[in-house]
Structure 1
Amino acid sequence: MTRLSMNRRKLLTTAALSGAALATPAYLRRAHAQSGGEVNIWTYNDFVPEAFREQFQDETGIKINVRLVDDQGKQFSLLAAEAPNPTVDIMTVAGHRFLQFIDSDLLAPLDTDRLSNWGNINPTFSESDWATIQGHKWGAPILSGMEVLAYNSDIVSAEEAQTWDTLFSETYAKQTAYIIQDMMSIIMLKMGYDGNMVEYLDNPERAAAIVEEAKNFLIEHKPLVRKYYDGGAEFQQMMVNQDIVLGHSWNGPAAALINDGFPLGMTIPREGSYGFVYTFNIANNAPNMDNAYTFLNAILASPEVGAAMTKASGFISTYKGASEYLTDLEKKSTSFPEEQLANLQFFRAEANEMKYGLVDPAVEAIKAA
C-alpha cells in the first residue's frame, strides 16, 4: 500500500490555524470591557478559535484558561469529583448528556437574559425540545455533528461506504477503528433496535438483552478491528498514516481532513446513525460566573465566530449565517445528501441512566475480551 507523502504535522494543524487566520471582525464591544480576571473552560480541541481568544483577552482583560477534554464521561467524572466547588466555569456538554449533569447538580440553569446575543443561534437548536429541561435552558448550542462512516476514497468505494457492514468485513480486516461506546448505539440501531433505549424504559430486561446482543456482536468481530480509539485527533492521525482506511468517526474530524485535501469521504450509512449538539454550559457554583457570561455572550456575537469554529473543528455551526463565511469546499464537507440525512436521528437522554448503566460495563467487557 502506497503511503501518502503529505506532511502529517502540517495536515493535522491546518484546521486550527485556519481559525486563527480568519480576518477577525469586531467580536466584542468596548462596553464589555472589565477589570480582568479569568474564565476556566473545559472543551474540545479548536472549539475556542485562537483569533477570538486573543481578541477577547485583549479587550476584556479576562484570561481564558482552556483544558482540553476528549470524552463526555471523563468530563462528568472530573466535575463530579470537584463538586460542589468546581475549578471550571464553562464546560462543553453534548445535549443528550444534559440529564446526567443536571441530576447530579453539576450545571447551573442558563440565564438567557444575560445573553444579548442569544438570538444569533438558529432556533432549530436553541428552542428544540431537548434544549429545555425542567423549564430551563442548560447550555448555548454552538456546534452540531453526527456519527459517520469515514473512508479513504482512494481505497474504499463510495458504494462500500453506504453500509456499516463494510466496517466489519474481512476485506478491510485490521484497517478499521471506532469508539466502542458510540458504536454500541449504532450496532443496536443496525440490528433494528432503539439505540437510545427510550423504547425499553419500562422493560429493563429487554434493554439488557439488546445490549448483550450488541456486545456479543462487537466481541465476535473484535479480531477485525485495528484499534479502539478515544478522540478525533487520534482518528485523523491513523487515517493520514494509513494505519486505517475506514472507521467510525464524528463528522468534525473527518471534515477537517477533507478541507485539508486528504482523500476522505464520509457517509450516513443506510442502516442509520445518530446526531448530537455540543453546547457551552456554566458549572454550578462556577468560580468566575460573571466572566463566564461575558465569554458566552462574546462567542455568540457573530456568525464569523461560528464559521471559525466550523473551520477549525469541522463540525456544523449552529449560528445563523455562519455558512456565508465558509468556502465551497468547507460547505461541502459539512453537508450531506438528503437521502442520507433521512437516515439520521438525534441522541436522546430520557433513558441515559439505564442505557449507560448497561453500556459502560459492556464496553469494558469488549475491551477485556
Structure 2
Amino acid sequence: MKKLTLNRRRFIGTTAMAGAALASPAYLRRAAAQGSGEVNIWTYNDFVPESFKEQFEAETGIKVNIRLVDDQGKQFNLLAAEQPNPTVDIMTVAGHRFLQFIDSELLAPLDTDRLSNWGNINPTFSESDWATINGEKWGAPILSGMEVLAYNTELVSQEEAMTWDTLFSEKYSGQTAYIIQDMMSIVMLMMGYDGNMVAYMDDPAKAAAIVEEAKQFLIEKKPLVRKYYDSGAEVQQMFVNQDIALGHSWNGPAAALINDGFPLGMTIPNEGSYGFVYTYNVANNAPNVDNAYTFLDAILASPEIGAAMTKASGFISTYKDASNYLTDLEKKSTSFPEEQLANLQFFRAEANEMKYGLVDPAVEAVKAA
C-alpha cells in the first residue's frame, strides 16, 4: 500500500474551511461590541470551530483563550489544584464524570435561564436523567460519541474488526494502540463484567478483583501494543503514518479521518462498547462568569454551529437539525448500523468514586509494568 501523505495540519485546515461560512447568529449580532475582557476554556481539540471563535471575538469583543485537554482525570486534578481560585471559566466534562467534579465542588450549577438558546439542544441530551443531578443542570451537552474499534480497511477486514480480540491478537502485534484507562472498562466488558461497576457498589472486594483481572490482562498483552496514546490527534497521526493498522479510538477522530479520505473503518464490536456525552460546564468561582454565559449562549445559537462542531471534531452534534448541514459522507461517518448500536451502552456515574479509585492506580501499574 502506498503511504498516504496526509498530515494533521491538513485535517485542521480542511475542517476550519468547512465551517468558515457560518452565518452570523442573531444572538451574536445583538451582542456585538457589548462585551469585553476574556473567557478561558479548557476543551478538546476542534471542539470550538475556528470560524466560530473568530466571529465571536470580532462581534462581542471577548477574547477566547483555549487550553487543550486530553484526559478527564488530568483536568480534574488541575482544576482541584487551582481551587478556590481557578483560572478557567468553561471546561469540557463528560457526563459520566459529573459526580466526581460536583462532589468536589469544582462545578457551578448551570443557570439555564441565562441561556436563551438552551432549547436548541435535543431534549434527548438536555433533559436526560444523567444531565440532572440534585435537581440542577450541570452542563450544556454539545457532542456525543462512543468508544470504537477503528481500522485501516486496506489492512484489516470488517469481520476482524467486529471483535475486540483482534486488537490483542498476535497477527497485529506492534500495529495497535489504545488509551489504557478507556480500555480498562472495555476489557471488563469483554470479560463479561459491568465496566461501569454499578453492579458492584455493594461489593468493593469483587470490584477490586475485577479491576485486578483487567489490569493483569493488559499487562499480559502489553508486548503486543505499539503505543498507549492520550489524544485523538495522536491516534489519527499514527493511522496516517501507518504506524498502526487498528486501534481503540473515539468515533470523532476516526470520523474526521474518514471524511478526509483516509481508508478507515470503525465498528462497535460484538462484545460491546460505551457511549458518552461531552458538555460545556461553568467552573465554580469562574473568574469571568458573565463572559462564560455569553460564550455558551452564542455557541448554542444555531444548528449550523452544531454541524461545524461535528465537521471539526467528528463527534455527533446534540443540536436539533444539525445533521441538515452535513454532507452525505459526514452523515455516514457519524452513524452506525442498528445491529452495532445494539452493542452500545452509556457510561454511568453512580460508581465512579469506587471505579476510578481502583482504575486510575491500575492504569499507572500497566504503564509501569
Matched, 1:352 2:363: no
What corresponds to 2:167 in structure 1?
Answer: 167
C-alpha contact 2:22 2:305 (8 A) present in aligned 1: no
Q: Distance in 2 between matches of 1:284 and 1:128?
A: 23
1:28-86 alpha-carbon deviations (Å, 9 max, x no partner):
34332324111111111111111111111111111111111111111111111110111
Partner of 2:199: 199
- 3-state secondary structure, aligned to 1:86: coil
Give the Cα–Cα distance (whole angstroms) in 2 for the partners of residues 18 and 189 of structure 1: 40
Contact 2:8 2:233 in 1 (8 A): no
For residue 21 of structure 1, give the secondary structure of its aligned residue in structure 2.
coil
Question: Alpha-carbon deviations, 1:244-273, whole Å to 9, x = none?
Answer: 010000000000000000000000000000
CA distance in 1, matches of 2:47, 2:203: 39
1:262 corresponds to which letter in structure 2? Answer: F
Counting aligned pairs with the same residue, the percent is 81
In 2, distance between residues paired with 1:37 and 1:10?
A: 30
Question: In 2 relative to 1, CA 35–316 (structure 1 residues): closer, same or farther, beyond 3 Å?
Answer: closer
1:105-148 CA distance string (max 9 Å, x none): 10000000111100000000000000000110000000000000
Question: Which consecutive residues of structure 1, in runs of 5 or more, have no partner in the other structure?
Answer: none
**How high is the TM-score relative to the length of structure 1?**
0.98
What are the superposed Cα offsets for residues 261-296 of structure 1, whole Å, 9 maximum, x if unpaired? 000000000000000000000000111111110100
Q: Is 1:291 the counterpart of 2:258 in the alignment?
A: no
Q: What letter corresponds to residue 337 of structure 1 in structure 2?
A: P
Question: Cα 1:97–1:238, aligned 2, differ >3 Å: closer, same or farther?
Answer: same
Structure 1: 4+ residue segments shifted above 4 A: none
2:79 is the alignment partner of 1:79: yes
Give yes or no for the alignment of 1:303 onto 2:303: yes
CA distance in 2, matches of 1:53, 1:358: 39
In the alignment, the residues of structure 1 paired with residue 20 and residue 170 of structure 2 have an alpha-carbon distance, to the nearest angstrom, of 43
- Cα-Cα RMSD: 1.2
TM-score by length of 2: 0.98
Task: Using the TM superposition, give the Cα deviation of residue 21 of structure 1 relative to its aligned residue in structure 2, in angstroms.
Answer: 2.7
For residues 26 and 186 of structure 1, what CA distance do their matches in structure 2 show?
41
The 1:151/1:11 distance shift into structure 2, 3 A limit, reads farther
Q: Which residue of 1 aligns with 2:12?
A: 13
Unpaired runs of 5+ in structure 2?
Answer: none
Please name the residue that 1:158 is paired with: 158
**1:208/1:27 Cα in 2 relative to 1: closer, same or farther (>3 Å)?**
farther
Corresponding residue pairs, total: 368
After superposition, residues 205-244 of structure 1 pair within 5 angstroms as: 205-244=205-244
After TM superposition, the structure 1 = structure 2 runs for residues 1-369 of structure 1, keeping only pairs within 5 Å, are 2-26=1-25, 28-33=27-32, 34-369=34-369
Are 1:28 and 1:59, in contact at CA under 8 Å, matched by a contact in 2?
Answer: no
* Structure 2 CA distance for partners of 1:68 and 1:9, relative to 1, 3 Å: closer
Shift of 1:10: 4.8
Q: Is the contact made by 1:274 and 1:346 (CA closer than 8 Å) also made in structure 2?
A: yes
